[in-house]
Amino acid sequence: MSIMNETKSASFAVHDKQASLPRHHAVIFIGLLAAGLIAPFLLAPIFVMKVLCFALFACAFNLLLGFGGLLSFGHAAFFGSASYVSAHAAKVWGLTPELAILCGTLSALVLGVVIGALAIRRQGIYFAMVTLAFAQMVYFFSLQAGFTGGEDGIQAVPRGDLFGLLSLNSDLVLYFVVFAITAAGMLLIYRIIYSPFGQVLKAISMNEQRAVSLGYRVNRYKLTVFVLSATLAGLAGATKAIVFQLASLTDVHWSMSGEVVLMTLIGGVGTVFGPIVGAAVIVTMQNYLATFGAWVTIIQGVIFVFTVMLFREGIVGVISKALKKPF
């Protein structure tokens, strides 16, 4: 509860006054686009793709927490189940990658409707616990169901040919496909945030009772944003399965739900670009600190503690406050 109150006061202090699209966002988007186009030539494409997948996942999560005011502790369920479905579709049904990703995303949508419809009936910590409980069910399903391969996961998923034409076996070609998917997902999230729907969401998360008294059907809005967030998290998971050619229990485990919270908090809850920064920070740590062994988790923990103690608005939140502009 306290986290959510913090985030509200942190993010909306910035966002309140500006309902229209801030102009400097266009500049940032162009900057990100340029960075995304150059990145695979400077860094390992596979690494950048991983950052992109997690950035989209964190942005989807941020849509729910930062703008809908709903803290889900079970987002791994959507991310992971979509990655399983996508991997299965590509490997066993032999679908082309775009159809496999679509299948995965749709499965997350369906799961989002089911879990969301039940979870939004509760607020605060209870909401978080209900989502966690459902995510655990999805985890046990994944552990037991035959097609997921248990702890071996689904391995050797073919990357296939995009639209049956373009082979994705080259990391660079795949990179631009993943980049396009992520960019589309993020633009969609951005559009949602600054739509009238997004404004109503903001109103609901700030004062639900008042929104009800103004005549809004609050639950519909909550369910819609939940499903949107779940679907986009699914899109990220489904894409990741194609990138790494595997789907495993890691993606449905509760610690993945925790990781996405961490990414969003470090980057800045309720900021548009924060989750991208947060995802980049965490994924970079996991990759480049891997040689330090046990220190990865300890360093992650220390960074998390520092973030919570010193700058609760997250990296981007702090910059945003200093420049007095919403990012």
| Interacting residues toward other proteins by CB under 8 A | 44, 46-47, 50, 143-144, 149-153, 155-156, 240, 244-246, 248-251, 286-287, 290-294, 296-297
**Between 43 and 118, CB nearer to other proteins:** 43
**Between 8 and 240, CB nearer to other proteins:** 240
Torsion region of 197: left, alpha or beta (phi above 0 gives left; psi -120 to 50 gives alpha): alpha
**What type of residue sits at position 206?**
M
Collapsing DSSP to helix, strand or coil, 272 comes out as coil
Least distance from other proteins to the Cβ atom of residue 194, Å: 33
**Between 123 and 287, CB nearer to other proteins:** 287
Least distance from other proteins to the Cβ atom of residue 251, Å: 8
**Between 5 and 297, CB nearer to other proteins:** 297
101 neighbors 160 (Cβ within 8 angstroms) = no
DSSP letters spanning 216-244 = --HHHHHHHHHHHHHHHHHHHHHHHHHHH
Least distance from other proteins to the Cβ atom of residue 250, Å: 4
Least distance from other proteins to the Cβ atom of residue 296, Å: 6
Least distance from other proteins to the Cβ atom of residue 141, Å: 12
CA distance 193 to 201: 9
Any idea which residue has 């639900």 for tokens? 208
279 neighbors 60 (Cβ within 8 angstroms) = no
**Between 138 and 249, CB nearer to other proteins:** 249
Per-residue exposure over 212-243, b if at least 16 CB sit within 10 Å of its own CB, e if not: eeeebebeebbbbbbbbbbbbbbbbbbbbbbb
Least distance from other proteins to the Cβ atom of residue 38, Å: 18
**Between 132 and 242, CB nearer to other proteins:** 242
